[in-house]
């Protein structure tokens, strides 16, 4: 069997994004999830208030 090693997440995710904000990849993923929750809340509010 051939193995292709996946780099350890702990090492990769602490690397810097090179952006002023968010600085780490973990922070970038949190930002993506946060924006998703924001849009979801907005869409639910639109659905409920205009039904």
Partner 1 sequence: MNWLDFAVLIGSILGIAIYGIWKTRNRRDLNAYLKGSGQTPWFAIGLSVMATQASAVTFLSTPGQGYLDGLGFVQIYFGVPIALIIICIFFLPIYHKLNVYTAYEFLEERFDSKTRFLGAALFLVQRGLGAGLTIYAPAIVLTAVLGWPLYVTIISCGLIVIVYTVTGGSDAVTVTQKWQMAIIFAGMITAAYLLIGKLPDGLTFGDTLKLAGGFHRLNAVNFSTDIHERYTFWSGLLGGTFLMLSYFGTDQSQVQRYISGSSLRESRLGLLFNAVCKIPMQFCILLLGVLMFVFYQFEQPPLFFDSASNRYVVENKADVKLLAYNAGFRSARAQVRQQLENWLYSRHKGDQSAAAAAFSAAATAQQRSEQIRAEASKELAAKNPDLKVNDADYVFINFILQELPHGVIGLLIAAFFAATLASKAGELNALGTCTTIDLYRHLVKRDASDAACLRVTRWFTALWGFFAIGVALYARLVENLIQAVNILGSIFYGVMLALFLVAFFIRRVRGTAIFWAALTAQTLVFVLYSRLSISYLWYPLIGCAVCVIFSLILQVALDNRQKMARGYES
Q: How far is CA 28 from CA 3, 37, 42, 45, 46, in A?
A: 29, 14, 21, 26, 27
C-alpha 44/C-alpha 40 separation (Å) is: 6
In whole angstroms, the minimum distance from the beta carbon of 9 to partner 1 comes to 6
Q: What residues numbered 21-40 form the site for partner 1, per CB under 8 A?
A: 25, 28-29, 31-33, 35-36, 39-40
**Residue numbers of the site for partner 1 (CB under 8 A)?**
1-4, 6-7, 9, 12-13, 15, 17-19, 25, 28-29, 31-33, 35-36, 39-40, 43-44, 46-47, 49-51
């Amino acid at each position: 069997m051939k193995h292709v090693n996946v780099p350890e997440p702990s090492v990769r995710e602490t690397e810097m994004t090179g952006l002023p904000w968010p600085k780490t990849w973990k922070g970038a993923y949190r930002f993506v999830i946060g924006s998703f929750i924001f849009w979801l809340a907005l869409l639910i509010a639109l659905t409920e208030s205009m039904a």
